[in-house]
Structure 1
Amino acid sequence: MEIPVTYLQHLTMVMVQVGFAGLNVMSKLAMNTGMSPYVLVSYRQIIAFFFLFLLAFFFERNTWNKITKKVLFQIFITSTFGATMNQMLYFVGLKFTTPTIACALSNTLLAITFVMAVIFRTERVMINSVPGKAKVFGTFLCVGGSMLMTFYSGPIIRIPPSGIHWEYVESMSSGSETGIDNAQNMALGAVLVFLSCVAWAVWFIVEEKMGKAYNSLYTTTSIMCFFASIECVILTACMERSLSSWNLGLNIRLLTSLYMGIVNSGISFAAMAWCLQTRGPLYVSAFSPLLLVIVAIVGWAIMNEKIYVGSVLGALLIALGMYFVLWGQNKEKTFKKLGDEEIGGEIGLNSVSPCDDHHHYQQQPVEQ
């Protein structure tokens, strides 16, 4: 039985968020050992480049001669915003602020992407229609649910432990928490995390436009990681002067670098690029609040963290908001296709040469 493309896209984006949930746990453990966030991001890009280059060589090397200067420039922009700026700003911001605030601010990504997509006309909103209102309402629900999960706890929900409690992770996390009492540092960290979301949204917009001109996911993503690895290494060299900061060894640092490079920057970037090209920036960003729900589940399962009423209510709002956004987008897409078919029929009937004009219209791609 063949899986419909729409369901496959939904499953892909859910799995991407599951991968990012693992990133939160793994990167925290690595930085708790003293690993520099600059070094961590650099290794992530280097490993991702080699992983994706192998995939591009085996599956897409016949398309390499079609890369133009315009496409290369677009890839450079995506590497600067989507990889270097987004990741560096987030991890450095996380260092100056609390994980709670960083997680709350990162969930503004949906709203930022929504506004930028409308401004750059990659997403059309028929605000007077029911689907258009559903997309706007769903966006507010997702952001509101994220804030509720972050800032409101409420009573504890009594549920038994998962049975897969990982004491090593809990001891590493609890033993390395440090208080952040400098208000200036807190504000700086919050600004950096917010700017990382803006950079992430820019990547969504540029990646969708680039995909229409050059549709080779492994190739474009590997080149993006190549550019990003150079940028990150240069930045790290300026911030971390000691060569010992690059040491890995057979420990959590190596495991985290491999995980982030292969799963997060390798597989996830290519998967998101595919969904961006087929469904647009708003669709991809609509799944970002789901990360907070998955992190809460992983925290309960692995680190024996408590589940609160606020977490459950926030998760329900996020799920409902995602439904409204995806439903509204699908309905607007259906309306546009029906409108294009009606226009095509009118062209075929009213033109001087019906066969030629109708054939010409059929050759035009339907804008997604």
Structure 2
Amino acid sequence: MGDSLPFLVMVLLQAGYAGMNILSKLAMNSGMNPLIHVAYRQIFAAVVLVPFAYFLERKTRPRMTLPIFLQIFLSSIFGLTLNQLTYFVGLSHSTPTIACALTNLLPAVTFLMAVPCRLESVAIKSRSGQAKVVGTIVCVGGAMLLSFYHGSQVPIGESKIHWNYIIRNSRNSTNQTNHHNFMLGPFLLIASPVCWAVWFILQAKMSSTYPAPYSSSALMCLMASFQCVIIGLVSDHHISSWSLNPPIRALSSIYAGVVCNALSYCLMSWCIKRKGPLYVSVFSPFLLVIVAILSWALLEEKLYVGTVAGSGLIVTGLYTVLWGKKEEMISLANDFKIKHVEEFDIAKLENGDIEFVKCEK
């Protein structure tokens, strides 16, 4: 049960994220402004996280300083506000399948941005370095193919599920979209993992200076709530636009904030402690499969050759990057005479030295 429980948790998490994509798309199809949807998501996430942070870390929380506060503020801007605004606005102009496929660019984008910050090494002469570079190129190529080429429709037939509410809202949304929407959507969805990668780099530094993950997450959600509410009010200050009626708007906002912000963070942190970050990363493409099936079954989404081929390249590139990262860990582990590398995570110290941190069991 010890090894199967993290697997079950990660599968359920991907299913949870798939539900968020479908519900959020339905909410925006009903006319909900994606900027307002993100604002509500941050508010509900903060409401859930603040009590947990207070009670779980009230005795271990480090003292807040101005540099740490600024780090958390920047993390809230890139990791929550910009990341989610670009994602959900992009989702409103695209499809859940394309959105999930482009999210898998994250490891490649993080690698590209971490190299100049000296958080990652290229080592182009090694197999691991070559794999990371090739995987990054394949990921970017897949993203370009998916964004700019549709091709013919994949003949998979039509879904036998007919939910009148979903069909009506999906058709209304289809009638309102145009060519510029489909160009804007992928562009914003590519910008989202770029913002997320910046957040990873900021978190790599903050995790050592402020080791209180629940408190930092709660503060980030609180700051992002104010940021997103201000942005939402500037974009649409009509009170009626902030209504959570029809109920799909309330359901999607609460679900996204509670399940996909607060609960998912706690579960992923637990899995990272048990199995390491590489284990958590390999489940990302599973989300794409679930969303593609649900979008076809519920939203009448059509699959095109460009979407399938681009998604395949992105997933291939993702696993190539992850394989290169694993080979790098094995090579370093041999130098450190560590036998079971899967039980450890690499931590790069400020002076450039490498340290292996044992994952908790």
- TM-score band w.r.t. shorter chain: 0.7 to 0.9
1:138-157 to 2 correspondences below 5 Å: 138-145=135-142, 151-152=149-150, 154=152, 156-157=154-155
1:49 to 46, 49, 53: 46
Gaps of 5+ in 2: 339-353
- Comparing 201-210 and 262-271, the one that deviates more: 262-271
Aligned-partner Cα distance in 1 for 2:111–2:176: 35
Larger Rg: 1
Structure 1 residues 18 and 86: CA distance shift in structure 2, 3 A: same
1:220 corresponding residue in structure 2? 216
Select between 21-30 and 77-86 the one with higher mean Cα deviation.
Answer: 21-30
Question: Is this contact kept in 2: 1:207–1:276, CA < 8 A?
Answer: no
Q: TM-score, normalised by structure 2?
A: 0.77
SS across alignment from 1:198: helix
Aligned to 2:319: 323
User: Match of 2:232, SS?
Assistant: helix
1:123 shift after superposition: 2.0
Q: Is contact 1:127–1:133 with CA below 8 Å preserved after alignment?
A: yes
**Mapping of 1:180-195 within 5 angstroms?**
180-181=177-178, 191-195=187-191
Aligned equivalents of 1:315 and 1:194: distance in 2? 13
Q: CA RMSD in A?
A: 3.7
1:289·1:318 contact (CA, 8 Å) conserved in 2? no
Structure number having the greater helix percentage? 1
Q: Secondary structure at the match of 1:366?
A: strand
Change (3 A) 1:48 1:101: closer
Residue 259 (structure 1) shift? 0.7
Query: What is the match of residue 3 of structure 1?
Result: 3
C-alpha displacement at 1:177, in angstroms?
Answer: 2.0
1:265 corresponds to: 261
Query: What's the counterpart of residue 366 of structure 1?
Result: 356
Q: How does 1:166-185 map to 2 (within 5 A)?
A: 166-181=163-178
Counterpart position of 1:88: 85
Report 1:106-255 matches (<5 A). 108-145=105-142, 151-152=149-150, 154=152, 156-158=154-156, 161=159, 166-181=163-178, 191-249=187-245, 251-255=247-251
Distance 1:134 1:271, change over 3 A: farther
Cα drift, residue 228 of structure 1: 0.5
Kindly provide the amino acid, as one letter, of the partner of residue 131 in structure 1. Answer: S
State the identity %: 44
Checking the alignment, whether the CA contact within 8 Å between 1:48 and 1:266 is kept in structure 2 is yes
Q: How many residues align?
A: 340
Cα distance, 1:29–1:135 mapped onto 2, change above 3 Å: same
**Counterpart-to-counterpart distance in 2, 1:98 and 1:246:** 23
Distance 2:178 2:156 in 1: 32
After TM superposition, give the deviation of residue 186 of structure 1 in Å: 6.7
Q: Is the 8 A contact 1:208 1:276 kept in 2?
A: no
Deviation at 1:217, TM superposition (A): 2.4
Contact kept in structure 2, 1:94 and 1:193, CA below 8 Å: yes
Equivalences for residues 95-110 of structure 1 within 5 A: 97-99=93-95, 103=99, 108-110=105-107
1:38 to 31, 35, 39: 35
Question: Partner letter of residue 328 of structure 2?
Answer: E
Alignment CA distance shift 1:181-1:50 (3 Å): closer
Structure 2 counterpart of 1:76: 73
* Deviation string, structure 1 residues 81-127 (Cα, Å, up to 9, x no partner): 111122223334555x4448973765544432221011112222322
| Post-superposition offset of 1:221 | 0.9
